[in-house]
Amino acid sequence: MLPRKYKVQNANSREEYLNHKLLAVVGLPSTSERLAATLFHISQMDKIPSATIEAIQAVAFILEEEATTSTIKELKNQITEGTSKEVASQVITSIAPHVANMLKASDSLNSKISQLITQNLQMNAPTTTTSSPATNMAMFYSAIIKSNANLTQINPQASAALARAVTRDCQILLDPLDEQPLHDPSQTASDIAEQLQAAIEMAHGDDTPIIAIKAITCLHNGALLLELDSTLSAKWLRHEDNKKKFIDALGKPVSIKNCLFPVLIPFLPVSSPIETDNWLKSVELENHILTGSIRSARWVKPVLRRAPNQRVAHTILQMTTPQAANTIIRDGVYI
């Protein structure tokens, strides 16, 4: 609380005093800029110590600077807001026609895509006599035969080809390593099957499918050709870990040979080092097929029987998968 001897005791008396002394503009609100002007007027009054005058002027300058900064900020905000609204309005006005055209083009494109899908479905609808050429190009021969029962009924050759493909997928070739036959002439096929079935049972694990031997063929070189009950069984036995367990259980020096798929490559330069692994890997890399897809390569005609000036010869690539073989047959090979 201020002592009673001072006339200014509150906001109302402050306004009255300043107006009475003509230190403020009557009727106008007090702002930082006007307060600074009032302080400058006070500093010009008589009988005020110089230190007080300096302090009053310092405060006046601070208020004046604050008023100037506040005004600048307000102007900046007004200019920014107005400019942003104007720019946004101009941008919207400029891009609106382009957006409308894009929406129209999108609707038209969706309509055309729907029409093409409908036409494609109608063209690829299954019939009793033909199948879609586009679908057949993406499938292997055995897959086409399996997916078209009507074709197998009409074409006996297709049925025979399907049967051979399925049988080959189920076959396992056991080849002796020490040139000793894996079967005795006195043994029957049933005896050999029991012996092999016992070895399979010993190699069984928790995830082993039910495996049964359907047929056994005794080859002249002492090898055995097994036909299992399913391709799943054959795939399980070809796995490296399962293969090792089966051979250990059999107790004979034997190897399990995977099926190979030969592909004829005509007119290959005779200078090609087809016997080296680096050459085989370079062919796989150049033709974008999986590493290990080419097991080996050999010349069709023995080297000693070539003509003196012969520059090219036919070669056979042994492929490990039918997919790789079909890829080379379909697309050719770059060497």
Q: Is the dihedral of CA 269, 271, 274, 278 positive or negative?
A: negative
Q: Measured between alpha carbons, how far is 31 from 151 in angstroms, rounded to an integer? A: 98
Assigned fold of 261-331: Alpha-Beta Plaits (3.30.70)
CB 40 within 8 A of CB 54: no
Which sequence spans correspond to the domains of the chain?
159-257, 261-331
What integer pLDDT is reported at residue 249 of this predicted model?
87
CB 145 within 8 A of CB 158: yes
Name the residue with tokens 């036909």.
227
Q: Does domain 159-257 have CATH number 3.40.720?
A: no
Q: Measured between alpha carbons, how far is 212 from 174 in angstroms, rounded to an integer? A: 16
What confidence tens digit (pLDDT) does each residue in 144-172 have?
A: 555 555 544 556 666 776 777 778 888 88
Query: What is residue 122's three-state secondary structure?
Result: helix
The pair of three-digit structure tokens given for residue 131, joined into one six-digit string = 């199948």
Which value, to the nearest 10 degrees, does the dihedral of the CA atoms of residues 38, 42, 43, 47 take?
Answer: 180
**pLDDT of 131 strictly over 70:** no
Domains 159-257 and 261-331 share a fold: yes
Q: Which residues contact 139 (CB under 8 A, 6 or more apart)?
A: 147
Report the candidate in 192, 224, 196 with the shortest Cα–Cα distance to residue 212: 196
* Residue with more model confidence, 53 or 182: 182
Q: Is the dihedral of CA 38, 44, 46, 50 positive or negative?
A: positive
The pair of three-digit structure tokens given for residue 96, joined into one six-digit string = 């609106």
Q: Is the dihedral of CA 312, 313, 314, 315 positive or negative?
A: negative
Written in H, E and C, the secondary structure of 85-108 is HHHHHHHHHHHHHHHHHHHHHHHH
What confidence tens digit (pLDDT) does each residue in 34-51 have?
A: 777 777 777 777 777 777
* Residue with more model confidence, 242 or 53: 242
What confidence tens digit (pLDDT) does each residue in 294-322 have?
A: 999 999 999 999 999 999 999 999 998 88
The pLDDT confidence band at residue 7, using thresholds 50, 70 and 90, is: low
